[in-house]
Amino acid sequence: MLTSTHLLLAAGFALVQLVVILRALLVDGRDPMSRAAWVLALLLVPVVGVVAYLLVGEPRLTRRLRHRSLAAADRLVAPARQACRAAEAPRDAIPDRFRAAFRLCEALSGLPAVTGNAATLAPDSNAAVDAIVAAIEGATETVHISFYIWLADINGLKVVEALCRAARRGVTCRVMADGLGSRTLVRSGHWSKMRAAGVRLQSALPIARGSIAFLGNRVDLRNHRKIVVIDNRLTFCGSQNCADPEFRVKPRFAPWVDVMLSFEGPVVLENQLLFASDWMAETGEDMTPLFAAPLAAPDPGGFPAIAFGTGPDSPKGAMADVFIALLGAAEREMVVSTPYFVPDSPLLAAVVACARRGVDTRLILPARNDSWAVGAISRAYYPQLLAAGVRIFEFHGGLLHAKTLVADGTAVLVGSANMDRRSIDLNFENNILLCAEGVARDLRERQNDYLRHATEILPDSLGRRSVSRRLWENTLTMFSPLL
């Protein structure tokens, strides 16, 4: 029998539920699918839905971090832009059809596309870490590193030891690791060992515990960036975390297949700006001296490129806009690899339109995904993509974690961003967009290697899906904005 206390509790929760639903409806700029998904979740699972919305319903940063991020950008962008001006790419350095994508990246970064760059594609994940270690060993002034996942495995500890040696010989080493993705390392003795050696350390977006979790940064809003900058002369950009490809925290999906490029030239300073902005926002340390020295004259044989970042403080859907601009610019061929394909409506429409206008559009995804929900949602889009002419390949050589895009054998996008809702709307990401046929050729060969270890998905195979599987996958798409 219900007592008056029970009735009061039920009425109180109903009021809380109504307030949260109204909040979900009133947030400006939210994608309609996201509104619908949250309202549906709040109605179907009210208790879990309310708690989930309070924790992860909005891309929430603490007021302190948001203000410090804005202040860091205000102080750093102007001197970085001034330093890059001498290397600004001339108009004719970028093919006409890709200029819109570059202009979009310029608006996001506040910096111009710069010319005179060179890049080298690492042969594999272990070679990429070895190159990072060698660069740290050769550093004379500064080493700046930011990783989302940093494990205390063979590769992870190689970098730890190299940083300790560099700090002991007087190099200023600043290290940032995500508070969730690298939490095991941050809490370990290896973190303390680096601090004792003189490495300056910062856990990015640390996880608030207890009741204050509702008041801190959104718990799953992460710094997903992978940035290494050495002496303002060399930088690394790609999908590679600081870990072994065996990825021992999820060994049944191994090996993790990644891509990492090293860059020299003025674009290094633009990647430096991304690290410096994050570091200054988290620690308050003034990073403007990094941009005081003038750039060396750009290599006349180098290519144009721009490094840019996106995140919850960027315009809504900024990362999707970059993908869409490149998809819209391609005339002959578009090849994309991404581990997590959960596009919003505009991005999905752009992929479909790219194939429909006759561009050879290929999408390479992992056959086995470490996120069962993401894998199922990706497959729910297969019928629409195949009907439009998109060719879909599922990679069987481990978990394909490389985020690569090559358009017409000329334009290349590499970095940390996936074609999913988290990269589009939530996480802090970093990418480099460039135009260089040599780099594009190297990366296309790497993509061809992925294709050699992949199975093409044909329309006939989709017809054999069971009704229950189709129902499951299509139902999950309704909740994709929550993932």
462-472 pLDDT, tens digit per residue, is 877 777 777 76
> Would you say 180 and 222 are in contact if contact means Cβ atoms under 8 Å apart?
yes
| Residue type at position 171 | V
379-433 pLDDT, tens digit per residue, is 999 999 999 999 999 999 999 999 999 999 999 999 999 999 889 988 999 999 9
pLDDT of residue 248: 85
Domains 63-306 and 318-482 share a fold: yes
pLDDT of residue 313: 85
CATH 3.30.870.10 fits 63-306, yes or no: yes
pLDDT of residue 53: 77
Give 165: exposed, middle or buried? Use CB within 10 Å, 0-12, 13-18, 19+.
middle
Which of 48-52, 86-90, 107-111, 326-330 comes out lowest in average pLDDT?
A: 48-52
pLDDT of residue 483: 60
The rounded percent of the chain whose pLDDT value lies above 90 is 68
Q: State how far the Cα of 294 lies from the Cα of 281, in Å rounded to an integer.
A: 24
Angle, helices 4-26/46-56, rounded to nearest 10 degrees? 40
Domain 318-482 class, CATH top level:
alpha beta
pLDDT of residue 43: 81
| Residue type at position 262 | S
pTM of the entire structure? 0.92
> Rounded to 5 degrees, what are φ and ψ at 11?
-65, -40
Q: Which helix or strand (DSSP H or E) is residue 118 part of? A: strand 114-121
Write the DSSP assignment of 208-240 as a string of letters.
P-GGGGGTSS-TT--B---EEEETTTEEEEES-
At residue 255's C-alpha, the angle toward residues 249 and 257, to 5°, is 115
pLDDT of residue 208: 67
Give 170: exposed, middle or buried? Use CB within 10 Å, 0-12, 13-18, 19+.
exposed
> Residue 87 gets which letter from DSSP?
G
* Closest alpha carbon to 363 in 450, 268, 237: 450
- The total of other beta-carbon atoms located within 10 Å of residue 267's CB is 31
Strand partners, 71: none
User: Where residue 96 falls among pLDDT bands split at 50, 70, 90?
Assistant: very high
| Residue type at position 103 | R
At residue 332's C-alpha, the angle toward residues 337 and 435, to 5°, is 65
pLDDT of residue 40: 81
Query: Could you tell me the residue ranges of all domains in the chain?
Result: 11-56, 63-306, 318-482
Annotated catalytic residues are 224, 226, 231, 401, 403, 408
Looking up tokens 């003034």, which residue turns up? 286
User: Where residue 378 falls among pLDDT bands split at 50, 70, 90?
Assistant: very high
* Closest alpha carbon to 433 in 411, 448, 404, 453: 411
Q: State how far the Cα of 333 lies from the Cα of 390, in Å rounded to an integer.
A: 11
114-155 pLDDT, tens digit per residue, is 999 999 999 999 999 999 999 999 999 999 999 999 999 999
Which of 51-60, 70-79, 207-216 comes out lowest in average pLDDT?
A: 207-216
3-state secondary structure labels for all residues of 331-383:
CCEEEEECCCECCCHHHHHHHHHHHHCCCEEEEEEECCCCCHHHHHHHHHCHH
Q: Which residue has the higher pLDDT, 221 or 405?
A: 405
> Residue 151 gets which letter from DSSP?
-
Q: State how far the Cα of 288 lies from the Cα of 302, in Å rounded to an integer.
A: 27
- The CA-to-CA distance between both ends of the chain, in Å, stands at 40
Write the DSSP assignment of 442-459 as a string of letters.
HHHHHHHHHHHTEEEE-H
Q: Which residue has the higher pLDDT, 13 or 360?
A: 360
pLDDT of residue 289: 95
474: tokens are 């299509």
Q: Which residue has the higher pLDDT, 143 or 23?
A: 143
User: Who contacts 420 (Cβ-Cβ below 8 Å, separation ≥6)?
Assistant: 338, 340, 341, 342, 343, 374, 483
> Would you say 267 and 295 are in contact if contact means Cβ atoms under 8 Å apart?
no
Q: State how far the Cα of 230 lies from the Cα of 326, in Å rounded to an integer.
A: 30
Average pLDDT over the chain reads: 90
pLDDT of residue 211 exceeding 60, the answer is no
Q: State how far the Cα of 358 lies from the Cα of 335, in Å rounded to an integer.
A: 14
User: Where residue 296 falls among pLDDT bands split at 50, 70, 90?
Assistant: confident
pLDDT of residue 293: 81
pLDDT of residue 442 exceeding 70, the answer is yes
pLDDT of residue 372: 85
Over residues 304-316, the mean pLDDT reads: 93
Q: State how far the Cα of 413 lies from the Cα of 431, in Å rounded to an integer.
A: 7
pLDDT of residue 276: 97
Question: Sign of the CA dihedral 456, 247, 404, 106?
Answer: positive
pLDDT of residue 57 exceeding 80, the answer is no
